[in-house]
Amino acid sequence: MARTVVEKNISYDNGRKCFYVCLDMGTDDTNRRYRQYRTYQTLDAAREALREHVLTQRKSESQTPVSKISVEEWLDEWMDTIIRPNRADTTAYSYEKIIENHLLPVFGSRFLDEVTPAEIQKYYVDVMREKGLCSNTVRRHHDLLAAAYRTAVRQGRILSSPLDRVEAPRVRQNETAFYNPAQLKELYRQVEGHRLEVAVHLAGSLGMRREELCGLKWKNVDLERRIVSIREARTCCGRTIVEKEPKNRSSTRTLFLSDDMLSLLRREKNRQATEVVRNPEGFVVLNRKGEPYSPNVLSLAFTRFLSARGLPRVTLHGLRHSFATIASLQGVTLFDIGKALGHSTPATTGRIYTHLVDRTHEDVMVKVSEALKPEKKGEKEKEEEKAQEKAQEQDQNQDQEKKE
């Protein structure tokens, strides 16, 4: 008997007295579509079966990757569309080096959705053992992979990220060497008149970062108002020197100049005005040729200066730590220290300068201990005690005389 179409994909067979449902099962290996037919006794049952099939197909389609793509292809696309247009050149450069030197040799030819959590976990162990990378460095590899995979999930390239089931390498806080007040004073004494004098004072007395020292220009130094505005930074991107904005929004800040700093900067500005220097952009910190330093060259020059004079080894960033330490010793709060250093929150300051928090803990314990000590007796109370002791001694002497 002929079947009568009841509605789309549902027909009724008068002979067999049942409803036929046509289910679209997609395509076969030859890319040809194929269908299945199922029978139901009632129209409601046929409709429910068709509805469930459609929902299942839609869910399956939403979970199926749009296309197979290799890790190398995806990282290349991710860098072009997400990282390079939206991140600093230095960030993009560091990502490129991690991808090129480490990730592609291991995962590059694999499909993005085939890399397993176990393989990624093993990769972390291997690069630390075989290549000698520290856990902090490998953590950057993890963060890069996690960000790339998150984007792939959001764009429907893969179902889920294997990084969600990977234990990230532990970040270890490195202790940075710093100078105490006496050591910093000695450094200031020995660097006087040297070409590094301005850079050393800006780092030690203002807490400026190395890139901020190299990027500071006279247009951002107001000697009349006694302020320095941190607005630019100068950093390395491979062999290229890049001028950019400071590290983050909080790093854009204004710092007050003490009498010593004001006098030093005035002398340096006058010296540059009287000497022939190739400094059309007006940088404050210059090398012996009258040119602005690159950050790496400035660090090397400072290290050699310390070595030549037998001073304790410390980096320019260590002078920034020295600034924070001395400020804390003077009773400045972590909040105010963080603002001067350009940190976004006091928590950032506390995490980086753990020794300041430890010293604060010591102060707290001492103050609590002092508060719990017994009160000292006054002079009047002491005199009364002595009188009582003397009276007792006299009574004892009288009793002894009676017995005799």
pLDDT digits (tens, 9 = 90+) for 39-90: 999 999 989 988 888 887 766 655 555 568 999 999 999 999 999 998 888 8
Is residue 403's pLDDT more than 60? no
CA dist 157 → 69, 111, 145, 151, 153 (Å): 8, 11, 15, 9, 6
Q: Which bin fits 238, alpha (ψ -120 to 50), beta or left (φ > 0)?
A: left
pLDDT digits (tens, 9 = 90+) for 9-49: 899 988 888 998 888 876 655 556 778 888 999 999 989 98
Least confident piece of the model among 8-12, 19-23, 275-279, 363-367 = 363-367
Identify the helix (H) or strand (E) that includes residue 33: strand 33-40
Is residue 356's pLDDT more than 70? no
Asked if residue 110 lies in contact with residue 158, where contact means CB atoms within 8 angstroms, the answer is no
CATH annotation of 71-165: 1.10.150.130
**Alpha-carbon distance 352 to 359, whole Å?**
14
Q: What is the pLDDT of residue 8?
A: 86
Q: What is the pLDDT of residue 327?
A: 86
Q: What is the pLDDT of residue 24?
A: 81
Is residue 223's pLDDT more than 80? yes
Q: What is the mean pLDDT of residues 304-331?
A: 90
Q: Predicted confidence band at 149 (pLDDT cuts at 50, 70, 90)?
A: very high
Q: Which bin fits 33, alpha (ψ -120 to 50), beta or left (φ > 0)?
A: beta
Could you tell me the sign of the dihedral formed by the alpha carbons of 172, 173, 177, 180, in that order?
negative
Type of residue found at 212 = E
Higher pLDDT, 152 or 1: 152
Least confident piece of the model among 89-93, 320-324, 397-401 = 397-401
Closest-CA residue to 215 (of 191, 237, 243): 243
DSSP state letter for 374: P
Is residue 358's pLDDT more than 70? no
Q: What is the pLDDT of residue 244?
A: 77
Is residue 264's pLDDT more than 80? yes
Least confident piece of the model among 91-105, 195-209, 248-262, 335-349 = 335-349
Helices then strands, counting H and E runs in the chain, come out as: 17, 9
Is residue 381's pLDDT more than 80? no
**Alpha-carbon distance 66 to 61, whole Å?**
9
- Calculate the CA dihedral of residues 363, 326, 296, 140 and round it to 10 degrees: 20
**Alpha-carbon distance 309 to 346, whole Å?**
36
Query: Domain segments of the chain: what residues?
Result: 3-63, 71-165, 181-354
Q: What is the pLDDT of residue 196?
A: 95
Is residue 250's pLDDT more than 90? no
CATH annotation of 181-354: 1.10.443.10
Least confident piece of the model among 145-149, 277-281, 311-315 = 277-281
